[in-house]
Amino acid sequence: MTSQLLKTQESVPSSQQRQAPRIRIQIPVFLRGTDPHGSAFIELTKTLNISSTGACIASSHLLQLEQVIQLTIPTPSPASDLVPHETPPIAARVRRQESAGELRIFGLEFLRPLS
C-alpha cells in the first residue's frame, strides 16, 4: 500500500504540487460563496491546514471546481471601533474536493499569496 501511495504522489504533475508548505491548524473562517443554484451563502467553518498560497477547509456546502470563494477570519469583539470585526476577504479558487460523509473537504488556492 505504501508503494502505491508513493507512486500516486510521484505521478502528480508538478503544476499541481504545492508551492508552499502547509501548516496543520484549525482556524475559524467565514466562507462566502454561491451554491450550484446561484444562491449566496455564508458559513462559519474552519481550515484543516493553511499556507501562504492556499488552504484546506471543511464545508457543508457544495462548491464547484474552479469556483472563486471568499474567506474571512473572525476576530473577537473589539473594545473600540479601531479594531476590525474580521480580516479583509481572502479570495480563493476551489482546486480539489472530496467527501467525508455529510462533510466536504476542499483544497483552495489563494488568488494572491498571503504576505
Tell me the whole-structure pTM to 2 decimals. 0.76
pLDDT at 74: 86
Nearest to 106, CA basis, from 96, 114, 92, 115: 96
pLDDT tens for 16-34 read 555 788 899 999 999 999 9
Q: How far apart are CA 84 and CA 99, in angstroms?
A: 34
Quick one: three-class SS letters along the chain? CHHHHHHHHHCCCHHHCCCCCCECCCCEEEEEEECCCCCEEEEEEEEEEECCCEEEEEECCCCCCCCEEEEECECCCCCCCCCCCECCCEEEEEEEEEEECCEEEEEEEECCCCC
Each domain of the chain, given as residue ranges in start order, spans 20-110
Top CATH class of 20-110 equals: mainly beta
Pairwise pLDDT comparison (16 vs 111), residue with the higher score: 111
Would you give the distance in Å from CA 21 to the centre of its chain? 15
